[in-house]
């Protein structure tokens, strides 16, 4: 019985080292983009390299919740800054199209369409304040009959998502597509 108790205690203590970590708030983009600490990663993150990324965001998930892909951009900034990458080496752009276009409506227009304020407004503003480019597909906007005056003031309007993606990739941005 003592051996069994010792064995169970040993297994329990060693397994506790693998307990789920808690995410922590971002150090750069506050209140968004929670990350986890990764102790001693074996695939190293070079902190002197540029991190130029473009997120292709074409889907909205819920009119009453923040678009999680916008939050992923905040997480990208936070985790790389926390890993030691200087902020001037982190360049992020979001190219928004499809159903995600409604996620960048200003609060007045969002209220008219969905009966609530836009849950993305604050995050979009904070992303913009942290030099994240927010680019809406002009073709999507035209197709959905969205006028620039209906959009968040933080949004840039491109000819198309395809054009913006090509331009950014020609400028050494790497595509992240979910």
Mean pLDDT over the full length of the chain: 91
104 inside domain: yes
Place 22 in a pLDDT band, splitting at 50, 70 and 90: confident
What distance in Å separates the CA atoms of residue 87 and residue 62, rounded to the nearest whole number?
A: 31
37 inside domain: no
Based on the structure, what is the number of domains in the chain?
1
Give alpha helix (H) positions in the chain.
Answer: 2-16, 68-82, 107-114, 121-129, 138-143, 161-170
Place 21 in a pLDDT band, splitting at 50, 70 and 90: confident
30 inside domain: no
What distance in Å separates the CA atoms of residue 121 and residue 66, rounded to the nearest whole number?
A: 9
27 inside domain: no
39 inside domain: no
pLDDT in tens, 118-168: 999 999 999 999 999 999 999 999 999 999 999 999 999 999 999 999 999
> Which residues form the domain of 81?
52-177
43 inside domain: no
What per-residue string of b and e applies to 98-133 under the rule 16 or more CB within 10 Å gives b? Answer: bebbbbbbbeebbeeeeeeebbbbebbebbbebebb
Most confident range, picked from 14-18, 26-30, 38-42, 55-59: 55-59
- Percentage of the chain lying above the pLDDT 70 cut: 89
What average pLDDT does the segment 21-35 reach? Answer: 92
What's the pLDDT score for residue 3? Answer: 54
What's the pLDDT score for residue 68? Answer: 97
| Contact (Cβ atoms closer than 8 angstroms) between residue 106 and residue 153 | yes
- Output the pTM of the full model: 0.86
What distance in Å separates the CA atoms of residue 61 and residue 42, rounded to the nearest whole number?
A: 34
58 inside domain: yes
111 inside domain: yes
CATH at residue 173 = 3.40.1260.10
What's the pLDDT score for residue 1? Answer: 53
- Percentage of the chain lying above the pLDDT 90 cut: 84
């Amino acid at each position: 019985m003592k051996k069994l108790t010792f064995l169970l205690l040993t297994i329990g203590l060693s397994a506790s080292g693998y307990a789920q970590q808690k995410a922590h708030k971002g150090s750069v983009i506050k209140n968004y983009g929670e990350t986890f600490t990764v102790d001693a990663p074996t695939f190293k993150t070079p902190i002197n390299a540029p991190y130029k990324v473009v997120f292709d965001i074409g889907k909205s998930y819920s009119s009453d919740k923040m678009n999680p892909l916008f939050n992923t951009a905040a997480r990208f900034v936070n985790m790389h800054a926390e890993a030691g990458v200087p902020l001037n080496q982190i360049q992020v752009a979001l190219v928004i199209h499809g159903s995600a276009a409604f996620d960048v409506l200003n609060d007045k227009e969002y209220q008219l369409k969905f009966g609530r304020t836009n849950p993305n407004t604050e995050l979009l503003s904070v992303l913009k304040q942290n030099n994240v480019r927010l680019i809406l597909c002009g073709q999507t906007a035209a197709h959905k009959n969205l006028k620039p005056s209906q959009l968040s003031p933080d949004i840039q309007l491109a000819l198309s998502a395809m054009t913006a993606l090509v331009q950014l990739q020609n400028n050494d941005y790497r595509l992240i597509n979910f």
